[in-house]
Structure 1
Amino acid sequence: MSEPRIFNLANPVKAYGNEVTQLELREPSTADVRAINALPYVFSAVGDGQPTPIPEVCAKYISRLAGIPLGAVDQLAFTDFQALSWEITNCFLQHLAVPTSPTSSDTPSTPPISGN
């Protein structure tokens, strides 16, 4: 989600005195993550460990990333809230990468430490 994503809402919400029919969701920044101090998902301990959005955290990200107050987030149709929550969750998950082991050319060579 590098470009802002436009969401057409099923039902308009009121934000800052205006009727809002679509939201522009920008990509989260490090500042957003630090301000909210939580990731928008957990991995389920039951079943196959699939990610599950955390509604309260997702609401905070929707508010920050779409630039609307939390009161407007509370007005969202459930289907809109769910779609936005998964969009945010997937944005974080797509950036997960399994760290690779450094190759011998990537690591400085150090002499072994002897026990003597």
Structure 2
Amino acid sequence: MSKKINFPLSVPINAHGDKLLSLDLRRPTAHEVRALGLPYTMGRDGMPRPDVTMCSSYLVKCASIPLSSVDQLDLPDLNRLCWEVVGFFVSSTAETSTEPSMTSLDTGE
């Protein structure tokens, strides 16, 4: 799996005083994973379920944007970015879909 992904945004966001049209998302380090934990839970069907709160923490670290910029993400972009984050943790053989529906996100609430 690639160590860095350029993710084009469907709706631009602002970060660090700049308008961003895309995000460079890097693979998290083992140190970050130990500090943050896994960004997903496993469903009864054995498939990962992104935890949007944890994924947001990874976006802050791995895309180098503040949480206030994560909050500006259009919902389809947030959904796809959460799956990109989870993709760093699961093998491609475990993935059955690259864009599951937003209803499968675990908000941790």
**TM-score bracket for this pair, using the shorter chain length:** 0.7 to 0.9
Matches of residues 6-45 of structure 1 in structure 2 within 5 Å? 6-36=6-36, 38-45=37-44
Unpaired stretches in structure 1, ≥5 consecutive residues: 96-116
Quote the Cα distance in structure 1 between the aligned partners of 2:87 and 2:27.
11
Q: Offset at 1:4?
A: 1.1
**Aligned position for 1:80:** 77
Larger radius of gyration: 1
Unpaired stretches in structure 2, ≥5 consecutive residues: 93-109
Aligned-residue Cα RMSD (Å) equals 1.4
SS in structure 1 at match of 2:27: coil
Matches of residues 1-116 of structure 1 in structure 2 within 5 Å? 1-36=1-36, 38-45=37-44, 48-94=45-91
Quote the Cα distance in structure 2 between the aligned partners of 1:4 and 1:14.
21
SS in structure 2 at match of 1:60: helix
RCO greater where, 1 or 2, for CA within 8 Å and sep 6 or more? 2
- What fraction of aligned residue pairs are identical, expressed as a percent? 39
TM-score, normalization by structure 1: 0.74
The size of the alignment, in residue pairs, is 92
Quote the Cα distance in structure 2 between the aligned partners of 1:49 and 1:94.
13
